[in-house]
Amino acid sequence: MKIIRFAMQLAVLSAMVYGAYAEKVDMTPEKLRQTATHIILGTVLHIYERSETDNAWDTTHYLAEVEANAVEKGDNISKGDLVYIRYWRRRWVGAQNDLRILDTAGHRGLPKTGESLRIYLARNAYDGFSVTADGGFNVIGANGFEKLEKPAP
């Protein structure tokens, strides 16, 4: 009887793991601040996007043009500067019966044109997903956008 119960538990566990999807846990505000090389308060002026699809994922890469209204952390950015930030989002397009790859869907809380945000950025550093080294500004993943109630000063 114990063998049958164990086999049933193993079958249920296997089914759960087979369909599991590993989403990246949000960083706390303190962890975002520690991880970021730069933190800006800014207004989103334009958003550009490019999509690509493979057998498993439809990935959209974004580049947003943000006017810096204030700088809370980091150097070489001043009030009024345009900062180009990168982020991404993807969705599963693999066959429904395929084993879904245990991975994240990218950034959450994506900005819209005209929004005022606090943005946690990584430049030549760990961005929450990987280490960058190309000089660009990546939004800390997966929750590096903080919407502001009123426009940044």
Quick: pLDDT tens for 11-59. 444 444 444 456 889 999 999 999 999 999 999 999 999 999 998 899 9
In a domain, 134, yes or no: yes
pTM exceeds cut of 0.85: no
Find the mean pLDDT for residues 136-141.
Answer: 97
In a domain, 10, yes or no: no
Whichever domain contains 113, its CATH number is: 2.40.50
In a domain, 114, yes or no: yes
Q: Structural domain of residue 66, as residue ranges?
A: 22-147
In a domain, 14, yes or no: no
Where is pLDDT greater, at 124 or 92? 124
Number of domains in the chain: 1
In a domain, 39, yes or no: yes
How far lies 24's CA from each of 21, 28, 52, 63, 86, in Å?
10, 12, 21, 21, 18
Task: Mark 21-38 as b/e (b = at least 16 C-beta within 10 Å).
Answer: eeebeebeeeebeebbbb
In a domain, 108, yes or no: yes
